[in-house]
């Protein structure tokens, strides 16, 4: 049973509730462009479903066979509780190294790029963390914890983390001493000097207190969310790959072979001295901080909203409908296409370029649904969405034509 899959509809409902709550209270923490970016990264992270565990799976199997400890009973409540706690300890170290070492940071950074902080931020997940993230959980298999127990407590750990991504819940008294809460996790997402690289726990904040990485949210230091080297793009592929590109550039440019290897495993932000002199990566000045929020026309905003709706529907379709491996690939590629093109509408790219990229996508979505799923309901919904998208596209064309006529 996939607990994450079961939780997705509740995640979406909670996001809708938070949005309405924020608007009613006069403290809306959502922006369409940023929320779309977060949701797209969350959807694309589902690619891990068709990525074989590879080396990680082989190591897990070996560890499970070689362990001298008897397999834990899945019928023991005590075993489940201990496994849950131990998983979070492993997660703490994965999360901490994911911030402190460049190669691991390249996989994790997508989760921190949002300059907003709301429940959609929780959905910003990496699509590349499977490469080496498995290393940190090998001890659980060496201890003899069954694979199904590890998978289940891992899902529960991730589900717990969802609710802490909000600005609407204040400090929670005694709970702050033992558990990860919205307050202490806001600190983790902040880029303020005093908050940087703090509060790594997934469920229990006691690991941070124990290992010296705890920081309380300070009343006189408002959190500034995002990363020090902002990407200034809504493109999901840029979000997922820009640190890998930076590392590759540093490895290519440096003259020392030892530095080429060190780039991968050095502390986050490190550059070879010869590269840093010519191509330094400057950190953002937080005193001059402005969120990336390019202004676009009303038709483009409406179009972005339609695509956000479509991406959400595609997420639910992929979760609820049984898909073949080929169908799953088609689903994922359509989502990538949707993410890239919609990022262009919200930044904005040239209208002619967007039409060339987007008209085939609209046709492809309807055609794919007609071929992959037997459900008439999904197909009718897709046709209605496609018609609405074309209407808004025509609206933008008319607006541009009118603006050009006025200029002439």
What was the pLDDT predicted at 55?
A: 52
Structure tokens at 377: 């309901």
Structure tokens at 240: 């997922």
**Tell me, what DSSP letter sits at residue 233?**
-
What was the pLDDT predicted at 311?
A: 81
131 versus 343: the higher-pLDDT residue is 343
pLDDT tens for residues 232-285? 999 999 999 999 999 999 999 999 999 999 999 999 999 999 999 999 988 878
403 versus 302: the higher-pLDDT residue is 302
400 versus 371: the higher-pLDDT residue is 400
Instruction: Check if the beta carbon of residue 17 is closer than 8 Å to that of residue 30.
Output: no
**Band of residue 328 on the pLDDT scale cut at 50, 70, 90:** confident
Residue 169: phi and psi, rounded to 5, are -110, 125
User: Would you list the DSSP string of 34-70?
Assistant: HHHHHHHHHHHGGGGGGS--THHHHHHHHHHHH--SP
What was the pLDDT predicted at 182?
A: 98
Q: Please tell me the distance from the alpha carbon of residue 165 to that of residue 251, in angstroms, as a whole number.
A: 35
pLDDT of 11 above 60: yes
User: Would you list the DSSP string of 141-162?
Assistant: HHTT--HHHHHHHHHHHHHHHH
**Band of residue 51 on the pLDDT scale cut at 50, 70, 90:** very low
What was the pLDDT predicted at 370?
A: 76
Instruction: Check if the beta carbon of residue 44 is closer than 8 Å to that of residue 128.
Output: no
- In this prediction, residues 195-211 reach a mean pLDDT of 97
pLDDT of 56 above 70: no
What was the pLDDT predicted at 70?
A: 63
Q: Where are the alpha helices (DSSP H) in 292-375?
A: 298-320, 325-345, 351-372
Instruction: Check if the beta carbon of residue 401 is closer than 8 Å to that of residue 377.
Output: no
What was the pLDDT predicted at 207?
A: 98
List the single range of 198-207, 219-228, 322-331 with lowest mean pLDDT: 322-331
pLDDT tens for residues 64-94? 666 655 678 888 899 999 999 999 999 999 9
pLDDT of 47 above 60: no
What was the pLDDT predicted at 312?
A: 79
Percentage of the chain beyond pLDDT 70 is 91
Mean pLDDT, all residues of the chain? 88
The number of helices, as runs of H, and strands, as runs of E, in the chain is 17, 0
Q: Where are the alpha helices (DSSP H) in 101-205?
A: 102-108, 138-142, 147-162, 175-178, 182-189
What was the pLDDT predicted at 2?
A: 72
Nearest 10 degrees: Cα torsion 229, 231, 236, 240: -30
- In this prediction, residues 292-300 reach a mean pLDDT of 92
Cα 333 to Cα 39, 82, 131, 237, 343, distances in angstroms = 15, 40, 20, 12, 15
What was the pLDDT predicted at 367?
A: 83
Percentage of the chain beyond pLDDT 90 is 60
Q: Please tell me the distance from the alpha carbon of residue 137 to that of residue 386, in angstroms, as a whole number.
A: 44
What was the pLDDT predicted at 359?
A: 92
What was the pLDDT predicted at 52?
A: 44
- In this prediction, residues 305-328 reach a mean pLDDT of 77
Q: What is the largest CA-CA distance in the chain?
A: 82
**Band of residue 333 on the pLDDT scale cut at 50, 70, 90:** confident
**Band of residue 59 on the pLDDT scale cut at 50, 70, 90:** low
**Domain spans of the chain, in order of start:** 3-211, 242-282, 298-402
């Amino acid at each position: 049973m996939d607990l994450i899959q079961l939780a997705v509809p509740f995640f979406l409902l909670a996001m809708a509730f938070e949005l309405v709550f924020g608007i009613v209270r006069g403290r809306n923490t959502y922006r369409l462009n940023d929320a779309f970016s977060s949701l797209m990264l969350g959807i694309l992270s589902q690619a891990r479903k068709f990525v074989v565990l590879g080396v990680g799976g082989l190591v897990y199997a070996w560890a499970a066979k070689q362990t001298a400890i008897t397999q834990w009973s899945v019928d023991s409540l005590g075993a489940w509780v201990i496994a849950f706690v131990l998983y979070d300890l492993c997660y703490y170290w994965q999360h901490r190294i994911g911030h402190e070492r460049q190669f691991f940071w390249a996989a994790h950074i997508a989760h921190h790029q949002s300059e907003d902080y709301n429940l959609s931020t929780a959905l910003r997940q990496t699509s590349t963390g499977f490469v080496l993230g498995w290393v940190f959980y090998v001890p659980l298999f060496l201890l003899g914890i069954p694979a199904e127990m590890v998978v289940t407590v891992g899902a529960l750990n991730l589900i717990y983390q969802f609710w802490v991504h909000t600005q609407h819940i204040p400090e929670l008294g005694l709970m702050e001493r033992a558990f990860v809460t919205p307050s202490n996790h806001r600190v983790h997402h902040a880029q303020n000097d005093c908050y940087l690289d703090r509060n790594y726990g997934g469920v229990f904040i006691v690991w941070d207190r124990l290992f010296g990485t705890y920081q309380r949210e300070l009343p006189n230091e408002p959190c500034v969310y995002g990363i020090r080297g902002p990407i200034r793009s809504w493109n999901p592929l840029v979000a997922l790959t820009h640190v890998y590109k930076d590392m590759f550039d540093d490895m290519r440019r440096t003259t020392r072979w030892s530095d080429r290897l060190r780039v991968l495993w050095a502390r986050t932000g490190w550059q070879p001295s010869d590269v840093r002199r010519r191509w330094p990566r400057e950190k953002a000045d937080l005193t001059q901080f402005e969120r990336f929020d390019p202004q676009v026309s009303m038709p483009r905003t409406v179009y972005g909203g339609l695509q956000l709706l479509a991406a959400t529907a595609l997420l639910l379709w992929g979760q609820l409908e049984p898909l073949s491996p080929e169908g799953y690939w088609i689903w994922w590629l359509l989502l990538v296409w949707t993410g890239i093109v919609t990022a262009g509408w919200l930044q904005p790219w040239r209208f002619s370029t967007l039409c060339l990229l987007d008209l085939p996508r609209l046709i492809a979505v309807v055609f794919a649904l007609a071929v992959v799923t037997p459900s008439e309901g999904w197909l009718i919904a897709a046709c209605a969405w496609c018609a609405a998208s074309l209407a808004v596209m025509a609206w933008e064309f008319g607006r541009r034509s009118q603006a050009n006529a006025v200029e002439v």
